[in-house]
């Protein structure tokens, strides 16, 4: 039987009083601070009521359920009994008092193969990061959102915010998946063309953990880089400079050579960021999906990274473990994960606008600007660049509106979700603009160089410490033979599949006389 000890206790979510309605299957009466009374659950048959409430919810083939409002848990019980094996649930209940009553009514229900994540009270604001983590780690056919009607009356504005959060996160995931789908064949071709490079060069894994407690500055090619690049002359001896490939030419033209350059884009145009560059000590960290010219045009040393895909796993017995880096649609996310796995701390953003301040997409001196501005004016170049992009408005670090896109905003969310997982790291945004605003300390580059970057660091000594790469031409030959064997098996499988399809079509097609 339910205890009544919670009666007459106020809840911080606009609830003045919670009254239990006794019965075999009890209900609740919730009185708001406005005086409005809301009844939870049928006094006759709350399970029948729960089935009616979800009657119009499509559940066939769905395997991720998000429940906005828990009440005393009747809807959750019904769904658990009907859900497909392997389904996951996320339950949002803003009232800790109501959830405690639900737990008194019925202890946690478990069904084999089903998992429920509860976000109660203030934990409900973790929905974005929890959903991000779940969507990243598992393939879901589709998701179902079930809203408990009485709870929705109380938490209307909160649930609307939650729905926006879900919509943004799903878009975020779809953006990444569509990128992978569109370029899948290019990935495979490039990795085969880069096979010798993979075998002959050490992996980035040898550097993991080597920069513990050393500051790292992640340099992107956002418009804000134009106003602060000169601070990097001072910072280079006091921090690890990790630049995305897009930022390399703008930095070199200003006399700044980053310690590490990161490349991860397989597109034809992207390797031109490295064309003609001259570096003395920069190290290239690149995943072998990149165009082969990315490696051949870079004059410095190379470290191979892996995104942990099936092809790199197939290569691994012959190439060794190269070190896995996470990627989320942008090379900046790779640089971010690299800094994290090097154990750098603090990790500092610079040039990470993810927006278009002043209607500019990049700093001056990138390959794209270099190619286009010989023929058109700067104003025409930037206007053309933004003309076909679906722009939205977000608030920047200072609270002012700035143009961006859903895709760029999804990258900002990715950074914020990842930073939230690791509060022990001091995350700093020294971009002095842009839309990465949560989970970071916002300071200027002037303040960074004068208050935080105080000690000299021997970055090159760490980067170029001896790395044994034991793989030889024999490894290359064995892997080549393995690939040929797999290709023959694939040809055979394709032929058999075609035969089965042809046979099926023949049997199902009526004879014409």
CATH code of 73's domain: 3.90.190
Is residue 311 domain-shared with residue 354, that is, in the same domain? yes
pLDDT of residue 240: 98
475, part of any domain:
no
A 10 A CB-CB count for 175 gives: 17
Q: In a 3-state reduction of DSSP, which class is residue 414?
A: helix
Domain final residue, candidates 131, 147, 179: 179
453 Cβ contact list (under 8 Å, min separation 6) = 215, 234, 235, 238, 239
Q: Are residues 283 and 393 in the same domain?
A: yes
- What is the average per-residue pLDDT within 130-140? 65
* Bridging pattern class, strands 27-32 and 15-21: antiparallel
Residues 294 and 437 in one domain: yes
* Domain-embedded: residue 213: yes
Query: Does residue 157 lie within any of the structural domains?
Result: yes
Could you give the percent of the chain with pLDDT greater than 90? 32
- pTM exceeds 0.95, yes or no: no
- Mean pLDDT score, 97-119: 79
Do 229 and 135 share a domain, yes or no? no
Which of these three, 118, 148, 179, is where a domain ends? 179
Q: How many domains does the chain have?
A: 2
Condensed to tens digits (0 to 9), the pLDDT of residues 205-226 reads 999 999 999 999 999 999 999 9
- Any idea which residue has 């009254």 for tokens? 19
pLDDT of residue 182: 56
pLDDT attached to residue 10: 45
Using CA atoms, how far apart are residues 429 and 239, in angstroms rounded to an integer? Answer: 15
Nearest residue to 284 (alpha-carbon basis) of 197, 224, 365: 197
Looking at 126, 151, 179, the residue that finishes a domain is: 179
pLDDT-wise least confident of 108-112, 443-447, 501-505: 501-505
Q: H-type helices in 18-126, by residue range?
A: 46-53, 74-82, 96-105
Residues 147 and 296 in one domain: no
Token readout for 350 is: 């610079």
Distance CA 37, CA 21 (A): 13
Q: What single-letter DSSP state applies at residue 395?
A: E
How sure is the predictor about 453, in pLDDT bands with cuts at 50, 70 and 90?
Answer: very high
**Same domain, residue pair 140 and 164:** yes
Cβ–Cβ < 8 Å for 200, 330: no
Same structural domain, 87 and 210: no
Check whether 351 has a pLDDT greater than 80.
yes
Which residue range(s) make up the domain with 240?
192-463
State both tokens at 48: 């029948």
310 and 402 belong to one structural domain:
yes
Q: Who has greater pLDDT, 162 or 202?
A: 202
C-alpha 282/C-alpha 241 separation (Å) is 10
Tell whether the model's pLDDT for residue 73 goes beyond 70: yes
Write down the pLDDT at residue 443: 93
Position with higher pLDDT, 500 vs 386 = 386
Same domain, 152 and 223: no
CA atoms within 13 A on the CB side of 299: 9
Q: Mean pLDDT score of the chain, rounded to an integer? A: 82
Q: Where residue 464 falls among pLDDT bands split at 50, 70, 90?
A: confident
In a domain? residue 229: yes
Q: Does residue 198 register a pLDDT over 70?
A: yes
Asked which of 228-237, 252-261, 344-353, 384-393 is least confident by mean pLDDT, the reply is 384-393
* pLDDT over 60 (residue 508): no
User: Could you tell me whether strands 115-120 and 88-93 are parallel, antiparallel, or unpaired per DSSP bridges?
Assistant: parallel
Inside any domain, residue 469 = no
Compute the average pLDDT of residues 112-134. 76
Kindly state whether residues 160 and 199 are assigned to the same domain.
no
Number of H helices, E strands in the chain: 20, 17
Q: Does pLDDT of 248 surpass 80? A: yes
User: Among 79-88, 387-396, 452-461, 494-503, where is mean pLDDT lowest?
Assistant: 494-503
Judgement on whether residues 379 and 352 belong to the same structural domain of the protein = yes
**372-406 burial by CB neighbour count: b if 16+ within 10 A, else e?**
beeeeeeeebbeebeeeeeeeebebbeeeebbbbe
Distance CA 261, CA 383 (A): 29
138 within domain boundaries: yes
The answer as to whether 314 is a domain residue is yes
Whether 62 and 198 map to the same domain: the answer is no
Residue 194 has pLDDT above 80, yes or no: yes
């Amino acid at each position: 039987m339910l205890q009544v000890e919670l009666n007459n206790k106020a809840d911080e979510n606009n609830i003045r009083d919670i009254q239990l309605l006794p019965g075999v299957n009890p209900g609740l009466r919730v009185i708001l601070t406005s005086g409005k009374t809301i009844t939870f659950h049928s006094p006759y048959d709350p399970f029948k009521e729960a089935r009616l409430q979800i009657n119009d919810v499509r559940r066939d083939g769905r395997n991720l359920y998000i429940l906005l409002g828990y009440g005393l848990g009747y809807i959750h019980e019904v769904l658990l009994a009907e859900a497909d094996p392997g389904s996951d649930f996320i339950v949002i209940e803003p009232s800790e008092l109501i959830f405690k009553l639900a737990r008194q009514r019925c202890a946690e229900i478990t069904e084999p193969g089903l998992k429920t994540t509860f976000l109660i009270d203030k934990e409900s604001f973790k929905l974005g990061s929890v959903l991000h983590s779940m969507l990243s780690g598992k393939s879901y056919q589709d998701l179902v959102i079930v809203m408990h009607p009485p709870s929705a009356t109380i938490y209307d504005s909160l649930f609307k915010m939650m729905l926006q959060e879900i919509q943004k996160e799903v878009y975020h995931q779809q953006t990444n998946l569509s990128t992978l789908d569109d370029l899948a064949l290019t990935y495979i071709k490039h990795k085969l063309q880069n096979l010798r490079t993979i075998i002959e060069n050490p992996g980035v894994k040898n550097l993991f953990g080597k920069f513990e407690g050393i500051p790292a500055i992640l340099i992107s090619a956002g418009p804000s880089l134009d106003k602060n690049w000169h601070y990097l002359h001072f910072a280079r001896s006091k921090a690890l400079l990790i630049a995305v490939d897009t930022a390399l030419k703008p930095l070199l033209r200003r006399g700044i050579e980053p310690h590490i350059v990161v490349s991860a884009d397989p597109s034809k145009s992207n390797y031109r960021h490295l064309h003609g560059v001259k570096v003395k000590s920069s190290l290239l960290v690149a995943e072998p999906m990149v165009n082969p010219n990315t490696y051949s045009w870079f004059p410095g040393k190379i470290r191979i990274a892996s995104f942990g895909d099936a092809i790199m796993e197939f290569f691994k017995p012959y190439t060794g473990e190269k070190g896995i880096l996470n990627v989320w649609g942008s090379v900046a996310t790779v640089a971010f994960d690299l800094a994290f796995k090097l154990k750098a701390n603090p990790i500092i953003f610079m040039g990470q606008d993810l927006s278009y301040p002043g209607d500019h997409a990049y700093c001056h001196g990138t390959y794209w600007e270099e190619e286009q501005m010989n023929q058109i004016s700067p104003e025409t170049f930037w206007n053309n660049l933004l003309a076909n992009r679906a722009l939205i408005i977000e608030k920047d670090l200072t609270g002012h509106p700035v143009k961006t896109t859903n895709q760029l905003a999804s990258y900002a969310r990715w950074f914020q979700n990842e930073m939230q997982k690791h509060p022990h790291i001091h995350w700093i945004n020294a971009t002095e603009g842009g839309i990465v605003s949560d989970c970071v300390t916002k300071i200027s580059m002037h303040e960074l160089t004068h208050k935080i970057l105080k000690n000299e660091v021997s970055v090159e000594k760490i980067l170029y410490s001896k790395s044994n790469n034991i793989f030889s031409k024999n490894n290359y030959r064995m892997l080549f033979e393995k690939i040929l064997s797999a290709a023959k098996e694939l040809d055979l499988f394709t032929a058999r599949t075609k035969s089965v399809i042809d046979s099926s079509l023949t049997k199902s097609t009526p004879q014409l006389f």
